[in-house]
Amino acid sequence: MRGNNYMIDHTDQLILNALSENSRISMKVLGEKVHLTGAAAAQRVMKLLDNGVITSCSIEVNQMKIGYPIHAFINILIPGITHNSYLEFIKEYPHFIINNYKVSGEGCYMLEARFPSNEVLDQFLTDLNKYANYKLSIVIGQ
């Protein structure tokens, strides 16, 4: 290991490719794909996790199916240097907020959120406006 970099070999790359395609693959099947035993593949995966090459194991939720069809990106503009009230405000809405990115450029933050309806989005924006100005973009398609 040099500095913050971790050197991966060809087998590690094959493992990363296979896990990127299907993160639920069994270690036995993964091992077969990369010409290792299941136990050896599991060891490699643990080493990749331990060294920060793989940073998370997650699921992707279909937000439409669970009742959150409105997908919004909200460019947050906060006058002044104090952002604490805004940051406290968004903590009240973990069920809507997907990501809150601190950004450079025109705004201070880029908020990615999902809402069950335009009415709920409108109320959120009304409440948000007590802490920050915003520019709203609604996702039309992917």
44 with 12: CB under 8 angstroms? yes
Predicted TM-score of the model (pTM): 0.67
Contacts of 94 (CB under 8 A, 6+ apart): none
- Give per-residue pLDDT as tens, 7-62: 999 999 999 999 998 988 999 999 999 999 999 999 999 999 999 999 988 777 78
Which residue(s) pair with 58 in the sheet?
Answer: none
137 with 70: CB under 8 angstroms? no
